[in-house]
Chain A
Amino acid sequence: MNFVAPVINYSQVLPILIVLGTALLGVIVEAFVARDRRYQIQVPLSIAGLVVAFVWILKIHATTAITAESAVAIDGPALVLQGAIVILGIAGLLLIAERKLDSSGDAFVAQAAAIPGSEAERTATLAKLTQTEVFPLTLFAIAGMMLFPAANDLVTMFVALEVLSLPLYLMSGLARRRRLLSQEAALKYFLLGAFSSAFFLYGAAFLYGYSGSVGFRQIREAIQTNAGNDVFLLTGIALVSVGLLFKVSAVPFHSWTPDVYQGAPTPVTAFMAACTKIAAFGAFARLFYVGLSGARWDWRPMLTVIAIATMVLGALWALTQTDIKRMLAYSSVAHSGFILTGIVATNKAGLSGTLFYLVTYGFTTIGAFAIVTLVRNASGEATHISGYAGLGKRSPWIAMLLSLFLLALAGIPLTSGFVAKFAVFSAAYESGSTVLVIFGVLTSAIAAFFYIRLIVLMFFQDPEEDGPTVAAAPLMTTAAIALCATVTLVLGILPNSLVHVIDAASRFVF
């Protein structure tokens, strides 16, 4: 038997390999460097790795190729999303690395193994222990997220899904304060995440049974020639969709989102809210536009119903929230519905609209959660909405920035959110899904209510007597917020620069 060596074009997958390599270096640093010097090494190392990966993505930006024995497709959408994930990863990492906000260290637990409320925990806190394992974990997650939208067969997609999820399960359980909530969030995220990836895998088995291969090109050809048993195909599509819809938190599969967003340390929430959504929708679009495009009459009705349910229920639940992290979580559910509108359009405008939406949504979300890390009282972050009353009088700058992000999430003109919403809705209208557009515009109006309610609370009410204070933003958080605010404003006023890049890139290779 002849054994043929696989052909891998390393230059095309180098961005992913750089991030993975940096993560491994980070593990070595954890093992061999003295505890008090790890932070000084981990932060520059991680950021340098991400910057180098981004430079390489720019270098290969015109690539359209299938590599690694057709397991990975490097094309326009993959590179746009990888670039966005890396930049947002840097912003998230800056928030994670911030150590000036909490008087007892960073946002992460002093010793994860110490039982909450125990003597061991007190000792660790008094000794001002800080851990740095979260940096390599973040990089592993980023590497998985970069591979996810580039995966060109179901196995690679499954492995990327797990590589991005497993570090996130751990990171969401590492909060320094309110540890029981944080551990509970990790447990829920883990159990439901594992449950949904089992569905994904079982669906992949049926698609394999249908087409005789796990590669997207072969599945596409099998559907075009109607080669297999339709029961396998439909079961496969349904089960694989469950796994992916869970990751993008679409409505019947969204129940983990508010709990995990609330319980996880806020910097982790910021990172995960932005980057997981980008990676998962990238994978979603590739699977449905490349692998299953021939069966679009089977999956479009299903996704249309889910998109409507996601938009409406996400917006309605967000109305009733009193915790800002939970409110932003439900708003992220509603945004999944808006992005699904772009996917359901199944035309080129839909794809480019989806990509544009993902990029802008990522920056806005990280910015909003970054502000949440600044509003604090004695016991940590003050996440109850009442704490935001009168913020505009005490810290006008912070209140204005948060208002900018909220207006962008609401989709008000002159912010990036408006351009993004316009792009996906016009694409859906073009493809004939008028019902989706009507629901989308109506739920945008509902959603605008709870964003603007918070703005009114900040500017037109008096602050509480012993309400939370806003910490003077330290350097790294300021940098992350400034980056997000700039992108949100610039893409709102001059969207053309990015629109052209994305339009030119919106073609999947197969």
Chain B
Amino acid sequence: MSPNNYLVLSALLFSIGAIGVVLRRNAIVVFMCVELMLNAANLAFVTFARLLGNLDGQVVAFFTMVVAACEVVVGLAIIVTIFRSRRSASVDDANLLKY
């Protein structure tokens, strides 16, 4: 199968993730959509590594995974805190800061 198909798949995953961030209301789901976007980037890196025949892209994928794991730690801490204060993880309820 042509590696190009994987690029198309990664673009689809990235778009689904980006649309999800914009449309979904639950902070956890929004965050999962961001993770989907990071994984789409990983897929693109690995595909390009295969297309170009060098290993840089695969190494980048490892860095991304580590960074994504760190982001989960910080992100879930923040989301859990806000859920405990407000009894809701909806990003629409967090609306005190405006104008």
Contact = CB atoms under 8 A, between A and B. Distances in A.
Interface string B39-68: 011001100100110101101100110010
Contacts, number: 125
Contacts of A320: 99
A155 B51 contact: no
Tell me the dominant secondary structure on chain B's binding face: helix
Given A166-B71, A170-B74, A188-B94, A195 B82 contact: no
Nearest to B61: A205
A208 B42 CA distance: 12
Contacts of A187: 27, 78-79, 82, 91, 94
B23 interface: no
Given A170-B78, A195-B34, A198-B41, A205 B48 contact: yes
Nearest to B86: A180
B37 A212 contact: no
Nearest to A113: B81
Contacts of A213: 54, 56
A385 interface: no
A190 interface: yes
B14 to A, nearest CB: 6
Contacts of B71: 162, 166, 194
A184 B27 CA distance: 11
B85 A116 contact: yes
Contacts of A204: 41, 60
A206 to B, nearest CB: 7
A201 interface: yes
B41 A185 contact: no
A159 B91 CA distance: 27
Contacts of B64: 158, 201
A186 B75 CA distance: 9
A110 interface: no
A233 interface: no
Contacts of A170: 74, 77-78
Contact of A194 (B41, B60, B75): B75
B63 A158 contact: yes
Given A191-B30, A201-B64, 13 more contacts: A113-B81, A116-B85, A162-B67, A166-B74, A170-B78, A179-B85, A183-B78, A187-B79, A187-B94, A198-B37, A205-B48, A209-B44, A212-B54
24 contacts: A116-B85, A162-B71, A166-B71, A169-B74, A169-B75, A170-B78, A180-B96, A183-B78, A183-B82, A184-B97, A187-B27, A190-B74, A191-B31, A194-B31, A194-B75, A198-B18, A198-B41, A204-B41, A205-B10, A205-B41, A205-B44, A206-B44, A214-B56, A326-B99
